[in-house]
Amino acid sequence: MRRRLLLLGIIANFLLIGSFLYYWGDGLVQSMGQNLSLKFYNGVLNIYVPSLLSVQGEGTPSAYRDVTASMYPAIAYNEERLWYESQEESLSYYENLAAAENAQAKQILKENQEAVEMAKVDETVSSAERKEEKEESVKTSFDDGKKMTINRKKLEDFDYLRQTFYQVDNTTTIGKDQLNADKLLEPDMKVDMNVDGPQILIYHTHSQEAYKDSRPGDASTSVVGVGDYLTELLEEEGFEVLHHKGEYDVGDRDHAYSNAAPSVEKLLKEHPSIQVVIDLHRDGVNENTHLVTEQNGKKMAKIMFFNGLSRTTAAGDIAYLKNPYIDENLAFSFQMQLAAAEYYPDLTRRIYLKGYRFNMHFCPKSMLVEVGAQTNTFEEAKNSMEPLADLLAKVLKNEG
């Protein structure tokens, strides 16, 4: 009888363990990796500041990371390099979703246009005003005004704002405190045009990025050549522009952002008049994806604004990758995106939000722009600088 009871007990234990693993196994395996990291940080802290462990609550690994990083900068640098450089900077792994994203963006624009048309029906306007509206609707010049109007009231809806204007990478998170339409639209982006020296800096973390028909070794047909044309157009708008052509990804793409950072910082110190920093890139997508739109009768590469949040889903805010200008960066890209939606529908993809900072911490008005991809022609990429320069002028002169 005892043996039977013992056997039944063993079977019951196996059943309980099996049920536990079935329901909780995935979470257990995932947490093991996090626990290993915490054990490492705890080990360092236990040697040097054991008192911290006794007062530190569970589930807040950021404190361990911050203290450990302050004592061992190499740990912070290594984590930054592994994530911020190798995994994050290529920005290409998520781009297979571009086709679906473009289709969704078109649907959103269609819905917005329908909403505008419905509002017009409800308005009481004179026949002369109706005629004027009709005449305006067929104009296509860049300077003829908005082609559509985004409903500002709808922007107050966080879900609408996030889904319409943003693509949030699964490595990071963002909430209503940062994606708030009033907060994003409040900052005045107007630059001081009377300063002595350049107001805008354009540079390329990835200067070697080329297009479908770029000539090997000819920078004038690469993303650098696109930067040349943007510089020319912005100067025609009255800005003074410094186009920096330093190469930071030659033979070592994995450290391009770290390589570029000292130069950007030095340029800003040498030219305190600079108020806007633009890092111009070319994206990488699946070979059967063509990011193209037509504006004013020209085929143009679609552009995408990009923001780093210095925050990961796993670790939370990253203290040693601090960016004091995140809110200003977000406001800049959103005001550009909103202007693009109204003046050049279908020109831009949704703003991409990712976890780290991508050298956007040197200046409040910092912007990373992806101009098309390797499947675009150089001419398509160059053409898209015309509306981009116009949008920058509208936002930076507060004329939008």
Alpha-carbon span 387 to 295, nearest angstrom:
8
Alpha-carbon span 360 to 145, nearest angstrom:
31
Which residue type is seen at 181? A
Which residue type is seen at 322? K
* Cβ-Cβ contacts under 8 Å for 287 (sequence gap 6 or more): 375
Q: Split the chain (400 residues) into runs of 10 and give each run's mean pLDDT.
A: 71 67 50 46 46 37 44 46 43 42 48 49 43 40 73 96 96 95 97 97 98 97 98 98 97 94 98 98 96 97 97 92 96 98 97 96 98 98 98 93
Task: Quote the pLDDT of residue 9.
Answer: 72
Alpha-carbon span 18 to 14, nearest angstrom:
6
Alpha-carbon span 209 to 221, nearest angstrom:
10
Alpha-carbon span 105 to 393, nearest angstrom:
24
Task: Quote the pLDDT of residue 22.
Answer: 55
Task: Quote the pLDDT of residue 53.
Answer: 38
**Whether 274 contacts 365, CB under 8 Å:** no
Task: Quote the pLDDT of residue 202.
Answer: 98
- The number of CA neighbours under 13 Å toward the Cβ of 139 is 14
